[in-house]
Amino acid sequence: MRFLNEMIQIPVCTFIFIWVYAVNVSAGEIKGVVLFSPQSVKTQARQTMPRYPHGKSRELPMHGIGNTTQAVVYITGKFPDSTFSTPDTQPIMDQRDEQFIPYILPVLAGTTVNFPNNDRVYHNIFSFSKAKTFDLGKYPTKTSKKVKFDQTGVVKVYCEIHAHMNAFILVLPNPYYSVVNQDGKFSIPDVPAGTYQLKIFTGRGTESEKKIIVNDNRTTLVEFSL
C-alpha cells in the first residue's frame, strides 16, 4: 500500500512542479516589422548633431541604412517583477574605421559597456548627456575602457578627435528590447503578459509608439511605418 502511495505521489509532484514552473515563465512574444520610407532613410543619413551643450550645430554624416543598427524597439510599463539582472557579458561599443559600431546600442540600466579601440589611431570618447556624462581621455589601439550606465535615458557618444564619429547608447529600464534588423524585422521574446507602450528609437529620437497587449503563449504582431 505504501509502495502504491509513493508511486502515485511522484507523478503528482512532478505535475505540480511543471504547472508552477509554467505559470512562472508564462509570457508572450512581440514580433513586428518597421517600414522605413525613402524619406525617413534619407533624413537619417545626415543630421544636425551638436557635440557640445553650447556649441554650434553642424552637419555630420550619420550611418545610413544597411551598415549598422538604425533602430531599436523597446517597451515601457509595469512588470510583475521589476528587478532585472544585467547581462554577464558586457556589451561592446566598438571603434573601427573611425566609426562607432553599433550606431545605436540598447542596454539595461546598470550595464557596463566596453569601448575597445580597434583603430590604428587614438580616440577620445565622451558624452555630455544628462543620463551619463563622461570623458575617457585619449587611448591607443588595442586598448579598451569601460563605462557603467546606471540612469535610463539617451546617451549621445562622440569622439573628441574625430568630429564625424557619433553614436547612441539607449539606457532602458527593462531587458525587453530588440534591435531592428536590416529587413526591418524585430522580435522581443519572453515578455510577461500585460499592457505596454512599444516604442521605436532611431537616430532622431523616440519616433513612434503604440499601446500593445501581450498574452501568455501568444505572439503580438506590430507594424511601424516611419
Is residue 62 a contact point for Cu ion (CB under 5 A)? no
Nearer Cβ to Cu ion (42/146) = 146
* Spatial separation of the C-alpha atoms in residues 151 and 147, rounded to whole Å: 12
Which of 141-158 are b and which e, b meaning 16 or more Cβ less than 10 Å from the residue's Cβ?
eeeeeebebeebebbbbb
Binding string, 161-180, against Cu ion, x = CB under 5 A?
xx------------------
Residue 82 CB, nearest approach to Cu ion (Å): 37
Phi-psi bin for 8: left (phi > 0), alpha (psi -120 to 50), beta?
alpha
Per DSSP, the three-state class of 142 is coil
Give the per-residue contact string, 94-123, with Cu ion (x = CB under 5 A; - = no). -----------------------------x
Nearer to Cu ion (CB atom), residue 162 or residue 210: 162
Q: Is 41 exposed, middle or buried (0-12, 13-18, 19+ CB in 10 A)?
A: middle
For residues 21 to 60, the per-residue mask of contacts with Cu ion, x marking binding by CB under 5 A and - elsewhere, is: ----------------------------------------
Interacting residues with Cu ion between 136 and 165 (CB under 5 A): 159, 161-162
Nearer to Cu ion, 123 or 156 (CB): 123
Amino acid (one-letter) located at 28: G
Q: How many residues bind Cu ion (CB under 5 A)?
A: 4
Closer Cβ to Cu ion, 129 or 166, answer by number: 166
Q: How many distinct helices (H) and strands (E) make up the chain?
A: 2, 18
Q: Which grid cell is 153? A: 535615458
Minimum CB separation of residue 25 from Cu ion in Å reads 44
Q: How far is the CB of 113 from Cu ion (least distance, A)?
A: 17
